């Protein structure tokens, strides 16, 4: 538990320095090479679906095994080296500081009235079309991204790190990277990426609901609309197309008193997303700052509640 707490503090302090090698980059390269290899072997839809299972299981197993092997080697040198390495590896699976930095990078030109630059920067963190967005659309997209990514950017890695240290946290990060690279429902990845998408949904299922609870607690502690957040979670979260994303988005929307969701464009095609929350307030750039503050508070509450749960589980079992 103390190592997980230390990893959280390392992520808050330094994030992901560009000069340090990041394990996710290596995982991404492995996925890319295996995808090309499997596509040379399998061509029909049924074969590609089988290849999708092989791809996911191979990458996730490799991430777990490589991390466990590195920790074992470090332990042979010195036990404290293994501890330091475990802390650092867990911190690389967390992205709290990086997510906050990305949101603030959008907020800066948005506040200054530079909508063109704000559109460009929000395009770095969302998959939707951004060229025609107005200021409210940019704000909504940023707040939604902050809320949704509390789960896979922090709470899920925390959950798996508490269960199994750096190896299991890195295995989760492999699942999440697979989903981000091949877990799409388009023509190219519908068959190859189906298993990665389902695996990611399963891996985030408990964490998404835990995140919503942490956001509710954060709303109460910060004097925001706790009751509205609770109503939004109960009413709106199940309507989201993702089985997990609606929970933190609805909690964030209710806490801030805004409405998220609505009309988005992907590759020029309109797509209506279910509304999350009620529009008590018009979306303003400051809601991005408030969302980041909520994210940090919810992350701290997740650490505290996770450590408490781990201590209780240890006492019982």
Tokens linked to 2: 């103390």
For residues 139 and 286, what is the distance between their CA atoms, to the nearest angstrom?
9
State whether residue 218 is helix, strand or coil.
Answer: helix
pLDDT for res 186: 85
How many Cβ atoms from other residues are within 10 Å of residue 134's Cβ?
11
For residues 73 and 77, what is the distance between their CA atoms, to the nearest angstrom?
7
Counting the structural domains of the chain, the total is: 1
pLDDT cut 70: percent of the chain above it: 100
Mean pLDDT, residues 154-180: 97
Per-residue pLDDT at 313 exceeds 90: no
Looking up tokens 């590195």, which residue turns up? 70
Average pLDDT, rounded, for the chain: 95
For residues 168 and 174, what is the distance between their CA atoms, to the nearest angstrom?
10
- 303, 7 in Cβ contact below 8 A? no
Tokens linked to 98: 């990086």
For residues 115 and 135, what is the distance between their CA atoms, to the nearest angstrom?
7
pLDDT for res 22: 86
pLDDT digits 0-9 by tens, 29-87: 999 999 999 999 998 999 999 999 999 999 999 999 999 999 999 999 999 999 999 99
pLDDT for res 123: 95
Tokens linked to 303: 């650490």
Tokens linked to 65: 């095994």
- What is the pTM assigned to this prediction? 0.94
How many Cβ atoms from other residues are within 10 Å of residue 140's Cβ?
23
Per-residue pLDDT at 187 exceeds 90: no
Candidate from 215-224, 259-268, 293-302 with smallest mean pLDDT: 259-268
Mean pLDDT, residues 133-160: 97
Q: Which domain holds residue 25?
A: 2-316
State the angle between helix axes of 156-182 and 2-14 in degrees (0 to 180), rounded to the nearest 10: 60
pLDDT digits 0-9 by tens, 115-124: 999 999 999 9
**Which CA distances in Å does 33 have to 22, 37, 285?**
18, 6, 41
pLDDT for res 311: 87
pLDDT for res 287: 98
For residues 191 and 189, what is the distance between their CA atoms, to the nearest angstrom?
6
């Amino acid at each position: 538990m103390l190592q997980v707490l230390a990893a959280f503090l390392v992520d808050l302090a330094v994030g992901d320095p560009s000069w340090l090698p990041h394990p996710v980059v290596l995982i991404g390269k492995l996925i890319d090479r295996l995808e090309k290899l499997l596509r040379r072997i399998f061509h029909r839809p049924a074969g590609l679906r089988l290849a999708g299972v092989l791809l996911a299981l191979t990458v996730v197993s490799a991430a777990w095994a490589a991390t466990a092997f590195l920790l074992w080697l470090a332990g042979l040198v010195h036990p404290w080296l293994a501890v330091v390495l475990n802390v650092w590896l867990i911190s690389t699976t967390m992205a709290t500081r990086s997510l906050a930095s990305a949101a603030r990078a959008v907020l800066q030109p948005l506040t200054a009235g530079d909508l063109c630059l704000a559109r460009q920067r929000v395009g770095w963190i969302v998959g939707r079309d951004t060229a025609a967005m107005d200021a409210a659309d940019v704000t909504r997209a940023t707040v939604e991204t902050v809320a949704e990514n509390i789960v896979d950017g922090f709470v899920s890695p925390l959950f798996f790190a508490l269960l199994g240290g750096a190896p299991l946290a890195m295995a989760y990060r492999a699942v999440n990277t697979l989903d981000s690279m091949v877990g799409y429902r388009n023509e190219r990845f519908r068959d190859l990426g189906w298993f990665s998408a389902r695996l990611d949904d399963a891996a985030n299922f408990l964490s998404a609901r835990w995140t919503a609870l942490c956001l509710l607690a954060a709303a109460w502690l910060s004097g925001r609309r706790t009751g509205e957040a609770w109503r939004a979670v109960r009413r709106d979260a199940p309507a989201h197309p993702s089985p997990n994303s609606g929970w933190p988005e609805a909690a964030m929307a209710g806490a801030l008193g805004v409405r998220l969701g609505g009309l988005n464009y992907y590759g020029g095609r309109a797509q209506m997303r279910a509304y999350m929350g009620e529009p008590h307030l018009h979306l303003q750039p400051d809601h991005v700052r408030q969302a980041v503050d909520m994210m940090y508070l919810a992350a701290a509450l997740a650490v505290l509640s996770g450590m408490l749960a781990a201590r209780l589980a240890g006492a019982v079992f």
